């Protein structure tokens, strides 16, 4: 079952006023979400807004993906706001987010795109209460940001496939139909899952040797078939193990990469040197096959899962990647991850809007 967001539109005058005055620490009026109109938060376009970014990179001491610090010379990419076609996305209010989640645990489970979102969220919260005591810790693949004043834990658990990757004598086996690490996901108030990018890796980037389904072991198979089997395994785990009255479940949708300029009518180009988003609310390139699979699997689930359908809004941001400013030198052209501040802050604004309404 897809948990869709029944967004309630602000009165136009209030939108105009709040867009200019709303800052960290100002409370959000819940009545703004009680109007009758429904809005799809994921259909829209990027508009220029000089009240962005939501924080300065220099004000977050533990920020990663810091493109400015890594030498990126332009900064126009910082001042864009996601504008849904039919409503106004509420500006992220860190203090309000902290109050609403006091004493809770939020866990992001997935690959480095989950890490991208986690680092964005931790910076958004830290800069809202910079004088509050916090702890950053790591235990194995689990990273935790804990704000003592609010007794709130924001966790990132690195798990690029969600299903089991097992080291055996023959090599690393990706078992598409088993999950043995799910106990780590229990006892959390909000879960945000993500997997996709690792499934497309080839060559040295490939982190497994064999696929396995049941007793059948193969060296290679159609990646999207493998992805669908694995995601279905995850969906069954959620349906069987999550109490929806205690835990909200999100799925962080497929984030776009920009490695083929033909998709946006710039042949032989990548994200390198891009300084502006694609205009409008339509991406000229092909539909992402992972997006189709994600929507299909989630729509068949019994438990409510909210899809953070970020594919379009990331497809339009060819300018938002680190490119050669990822920190690995000019030989690395990173067109998968996102600069911070930047696009993942919008993912967290949408997360915030959904948590407010629900």
The residues carrying an active-site annotation are: 112, 334, 337
Tell me if 109 sits within 8 A of 194, measured CB to CB.
yes
Q: Are 24 and 128 in contact (CB under 8 A)?
A: yes
Neighbours of 12 (CB within 10 A): 9
Q: Could you tell me if 112 and 119 are in contact, meaning their C-beta atoms sit under 8 angstroms apart?
A: no
Helix 343-357 × helix 112-128 angle, to 10°: 70
Report how far residue 162's alpha carbon sits from residue 205's, in angstroms, rounded to the nearest whole number: 18
Evaluate whether 272 touches 324 at the Cβ level (below 8 Å): yes
**DSSP state letters, 179-215:** -S-GGGGSS-SEEEE---GGGG--GGG---SEEEETT
- Is the preceding omega at residue 53 within 30 degrees of 0, hence cis? yes
Please count the CA atoms within 13 angstroms of the CA of 297 that sit on its side-chain side. Answer: 25
Report how far residue 155's alpha carbon sits from residue 184's, in angstroms, rounded to the nearest whole number. Answer: 11
Query: Looking at the chain, how many residues does it have?
Result: 358
Q: What is the largest CA-CA distance in the chain?
A: 66
Measured CA to CA, the distance from residue 33 to residue 44 in angstroms comes to 19
First to last CA, the chain: 16
Quickly tell me which residue has 């990331």 as its tokens: 314
Contact between 189 and 97 (Cβ < 8 Å): no
């Amino acid at each position: 079952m897809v948990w869709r967001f029944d967004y309630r539109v602000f009165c136009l005058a209030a939108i105009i006023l709040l867009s200019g005055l709303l800052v960290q620490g100002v409370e959000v009026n819940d009545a703004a979400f009680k109007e009758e109109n429904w809005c799809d938060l994921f259909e829209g376009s990027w508009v220029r807004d000089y009240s962005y970014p939501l924080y300065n990179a220099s004000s977050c001491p533990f920020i990663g993906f810091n493109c400015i610090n890594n030498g990126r010379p332009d900064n126009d990419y910082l001042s864009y706001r996601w504008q849904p076609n039919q409503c106004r996305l509420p500006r992220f209010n860190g203090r309000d987010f902290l109050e609403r989640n006091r004493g809770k645990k939020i866990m992001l489970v997935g690959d480095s795109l989950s890490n991208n979102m986690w680092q964005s969220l931790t910076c958004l919260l830290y800069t809202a209460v910079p004088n509050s005591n916090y702890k950053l810790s790591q235990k194995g693949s689990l990273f935790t940001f804990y704000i003592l004043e609010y007794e709130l834990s924001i966790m990132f658990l690195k798990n690029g496939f969600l299903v089991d990757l097992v080291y055996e004598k023959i090599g690393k086996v990706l078992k598409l139909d088993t999950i043995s690490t799910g106990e780590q996901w229990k006892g959390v108030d909000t879960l945000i899952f993500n997997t996709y990018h690792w499934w497309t890796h080839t060559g040295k980037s490939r982190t497994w040797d064999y696929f396995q389904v049941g007793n059948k072991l193969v060296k290679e198979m159609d990646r999207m078939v493998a992805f669908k089997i694995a995601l279905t395994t995850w969906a069954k785990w959620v349906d069987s193990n999550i109490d929806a009255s205690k835990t909200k479940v999100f799925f962080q949708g497929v984030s776009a990469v920009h490695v083929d300029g033909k998709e946006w009518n710039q042949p032989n180009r990548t994200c390198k040197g891009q300084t502006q988003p694609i205009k409008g609310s339509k991406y000229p390139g092909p539909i992402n096959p992972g997006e189709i699979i994600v929507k299909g699997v989630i729509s068949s689930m019994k438990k409510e899962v909210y899809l953070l359908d970020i594919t379009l809004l990331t497809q339009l941001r060819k300018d938002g990647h680190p490119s050669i400013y990822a920190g690995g030198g000019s030989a690395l052209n990173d067109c998968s991850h996102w600069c911070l501040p930047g696009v993942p802050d919008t993912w967290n604004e949408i997360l915030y809007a959904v948590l407010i309404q629900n």
